[in-house]
Amino acid sequence: MSTTVILSMMGGLGLFLYGMKLMGDSIENAAGAKLRSILETLTTNRVMGMLVGVFFTAAIQSSSACTVMVVSFVNSGLMDLYQAAGVIFGANIGTTVTSQLVSFNLSQYAPIFLLIGACVMMFSKRTKVKKIAGIVVGFGILFLGLSSMSGAMSGMAGDPSMMRIFSSLSNPVMAILVGAVVTGVIQSSSVTVSIILLMCRENLLDINICLYIILGCNIGACVPALLTGLAGKKNALRAALIHLFFNIIGTILIFVILQIAEPQVVGLLSSISRGDKGRMIANAHTIFKILQVLVLLPFAGFIVKLTLLVVPGSDEDVNYRGQFQLKYIGDKVVFSPATVVVDAIRELERMGTLASENLNRAMNALITLDEEDIEDVYIVEQNINFLNHSITNYLVKVGQMNLPVDDRRQIGALFHVVNDIERIGDHAENVADAAKKRIEKDISFSKEAQREMGEILGLVNAILQYALESFSAGTDEKLEQVREIENQIDQTERDLQNRHIERLARNECTPEAGMLFSDIVSGLERVADHATNIAFAISDSEQDDMNVKQVGRI
C-alpha cells in the first residue's frame, strides 16, 4: 500500500473527526442551554425520556455527549436513575442519525457547505449566528473527510495484502471485540460506524462481519460515560453502567438473532436498502438500536436495580465536621461543558444554605452563649472558605471552555454570587466573635434587644430563602418579594438603631452591649443586601438595565 494512500486515509480521518467535533460543539454552544432545559423538564416518565434522548442525541450528533450530560445531571441530583435510563435508551437510537447521513454520500456538496459556513463566520458579528455557521462548516468538513477516506479505501481495495488482512477478520466474537476497542479509543460510535460503512461500500469488509463490528462499536461507545461516572458519585457511576448494561444485553440479543438467522437479516437489509451496502450498514445500525430499545425499555427498572447491586451503598454525606469536599462539581474533572453552569449553581446553592444555616447558628450562640455552637460556626466558615476558593477556581477553569452562549453570559454573575455568599459567611463569623466577646466580658442584652434582633433575623431568613430559591431556579417569580423584604429590612434597621440610641440615652443598656447590638443589626442589614445581589444575579446578567440595588462587594 502506497504512502499516498496512507496519508490520504489519515488526513481524511482527521478531517472527519474534526468535522464531527466542530459540528457537535457548535450545536451545543448555539442551543445547548435550550436542549439542556428540554432534557431537564421533559423526562418525567420513561417513554418521554426515551423520546427526548432520541431528539437530543440526533440534534447534537453524539450519544457520548448526551450520556455524559445525563451522568452529570444524575451526579448533581437533577435526574434520578429511572429518568436517566429512558434518556440513555433514546440516545442509543439518536446516535444512528450520523450513519444515516453518511450513507447518503453528500460529499459532492461539501464545498458548498464550507463556502456558505465560512462566509457567515467571517462576516457575521452575532455570536449565535457564528455558532450556527460553525455547524454548517463542521458538516462540510465531515463530508470532505469522508470523500478523502473513500478515495483512500478505493486504493486499498486493489492491494492484495490489505485484502488478506481484512478478510482474516471473520470471527464474529473477534469482530465485536475489535469494534469495542477501536470505538473505546476514538470514543465515538458514530465515527467508527461511519468508517465501517465506507469500508463495506468499498468492498474492504464483508457485510456479514460488519454487523458484528457494529455491535462492538455500541459497547465501546460507553467508555466516555464510564470515565465520567468514575469521577462522580455512586449514582453517576450507576447511570454510566445503565448505558453499558443496555449495550451489553442488546449486543447479546442481536448476536443470538444473527447466529440464528444471519442470511435472512442480510437479505432484509439488502431489500430495504436496495442493495446499497452503505445504506445497509446505516439501516442495520438503526434497526438494531430500535429493536434493543423496544425489547429492553419495559425492563429498564430491572437494569437500574442491577446497577444498584453492582454499585451498592450510598455516598457519604458531606459533613462540615469532616473533610471539606465538593458535592456537585468535579474537583479534578469537568463533567460536561453543557452542564457546568447547572453544576456550579447547585454547588453555590449548597454553599448558600451552609452560610444561611451558619448565620442562624451564630445568632443562636450569641443569645445562648453555647460554646459548642460558636466552635461549629468557625468550622463551617472554614468549609465556606474552601467552597469559595474551589468554586472560583472551577469557574475560572470552565470560563476557558467552549460553553453554550447563554451559559457563558452567566459565568460572570456566578463569580459575584460566590463572593456574596462568602461575605454572608463572614458576617456569621462576626456574630460568633461577638458571642465570644459576650462570654469574655460578661456582656448582657436586654429582653427588648434580644426581641429586636430576632425580628430582623426573621426578615433576613426570609430574604435569604427567597434569594436562594430565585437563584437556583433561575426565575424572577420571587424577585418582587425580595425587593419588598429588603426595603422592610432597611427600614427596620433604621428603626432599631434609633431605639438603641434611645435606650443608651435612658441608660437602659451598657455602652459595650450597645456597640455589639449596633454591629449585629448593621451586619444583618448587609447580609440582606448580599441576598438581594444573589437573587438578581442571573437576571442582571441577562438584563443589564434592570433597576436593582447593588451594594459594593468587599
The answer to whether residues 413 and 421 touch, using CB atoms and an 8 Å cutoff, is no
190 with 262, same domain: the answer is: yes
SS3 of 205, please?
Answer: coil
- Within a domain: residue 552? no
Buried b (16+ CB within 10 A) or exposed e, 443-456: bebeeebeebbeeb
246 with 368, same domain: the answer is: no
What does the alpha-carbon distance between residue 6 and residue 327 come to, in Å, rounded to a whole number?
A: 48
| pLDDT over 90 (residue 249) | yes
What does the alpha-carbon distance between residue 361 and residue 197 come to, in Å, rounded to a whole number?
A: 64
| pLDDT over 90 (residue 430) | yes
> Where does residue 399 rank: exposed (0-12), middle (13-18), buried (19+ CB within 10 A)?
middle
What does the alpha-carbon distance between residue 51 and residue 63 come to, in Å, rounded to a whole number?
A: 13
275 with 139, same domain: the answer is: yes
For the chain, give the mean pLDDT: 82
What does the alpha-carbon distance between residue 308 and residue 317 come to, in Å, rounded to a whole number?
A: 18
pLDDT tens track for 331-376: 545 556 667 788 888 889 999 999 999 999 999 999 999 999 999 9
Please give the torsion angle defined by the CA atoms of residues 153, 158, 160 and 166, in that order, rounded to the nearest 10 degrees: 30
The answer to whether residues 361 and 373 touch, using CB atoms and an 8 Å cutoff, is yes
354 with 226, same domain: the answer is: no
What is the pLDDT confidence band of residue 553, given thresholds at 50, 70 and 90?
Answer: very low
pLDDT tens track for 41-68: 666 677 888 888 888 787 776 777 778 7
Residue span of the structural domain in which 343 resides? 337-542
Percentage of residues in the chain with pLDDT exceeding 90? 29
349 with 292, same domain: the answer is: no
The answer to whether residues 176 and 215 touch, using CB atoms and an 8 Å cutoff, is yes
- Within a domain: residue 548? no
Kindly write down the DSSP assignment for every residue of 79-105, as one continuous string: S-HHHHHHHHHHHHHHTHHHHHHHHT-
282 with 342, same domain: the answer is: no
> Where does residue 113 rank: exposed (0-12), middle (13-18), buried (19+ CB within 10 A)?
buried
361 with 266, same domain: the answer is: no
- Within a domain: residue 323? no
Of the candidate ranges 10-14, 27-31, 104-108, 275-279, the one whose mean pLDDT is the lowest: 27-31
- Within a domain: residue 284? yes
SS3 of 204, please?
Answer: coil
- Within a domain: residue 239? yes
Amino acid 400: pLDDT: 75
347 with 305, same domain: the answer is: no
294 with 353, same domain: the answer is: no
What is the pLDDT confidence band of residue 380, given thresholds at 50, 70 and 90?
Answer: very high
Amino acid 248: pLDDT: 94
The residue written with cell numbers 445525563 in the block is 70
Kindly write down the DSSP assignment for every residue of 233-284, as one continuous string: -HHHHHHHHHHHHHHHHHHHHHHHHHHHHHHHHHHHHHHHHTT-HHHHHHHH
- Rg of the chain over Cα atoms, rounded to whole angstroms, equals 30
- Within a domain: residue 329? no
What is the total count of domains within the chain? 2
| pLDDT over 70 (residue 69) | yes
Alpha helices in 338-370 (DSSP H): 340-368
Domain boundary among 292, 310, 328: 310
| pLDDT over 70 (residue 302) | yes
Amino acid 545: pLDDT: 37
- The arithmetic mean of pLDDT across residues 468-480, rounded, is 81
Of the candidate ranges 169-183, 335-349, 385-399, 523-537, the one whose mean pLDDT is the lowest: 335-349
DSSP state letter for 401: S
369 with 492, same domain: the answer is: yes
- Within a domain: residue 124? yes
- Considering only residues 4 and 243, tell me which one the structure prediction assigns the higher pLDDT: 243
Which cell numbers hold the place of 163?
485484502
Amino acid 215: pLDDT: 92
Q: One-letter amino acid identity for 302? A: F
Amino acid 547: pLDDT: 41
The answer to whether residues 479 and 534 touch, using CB atoms and an 8 Å cutoff, is no
Amino acid 293: pLDDT: 93
pLDDT tens track for 129-153: 887 888 888 878 877 877 777 777 7
Measured in whole angstroms, the distance separating CA 451 from the mean position of its chain's CA atoms is 45
| pLDDT over 60 (residue 234) | yes
> Angle, nearest 10°, between helix axes 447-473 and 479-505?
160
DSSP state letter for 321: T
Domain boundary among 295, 310, 325: 310
Amino acid 7: pLDDT: 79
Cα distance between the two ends of the chain: 68
- Within a domain: residue 328? no
Q: What is the CATH number of the domain that holds 393?
A: 1.20.58.220
What does the alpha-carbon distance between residue 438 and residue 389 come to, in Å, rounded to a whole number?
A: 32
Domain boundary among 293, 310, 327: 310
Of the candidate ranges 74-78, 329-333, 392-396, the one whose mean pLDDT is the lowest: 329-333
302 with 424, same domain: the answer is: no
443 with 304, same domain: the answer is: no
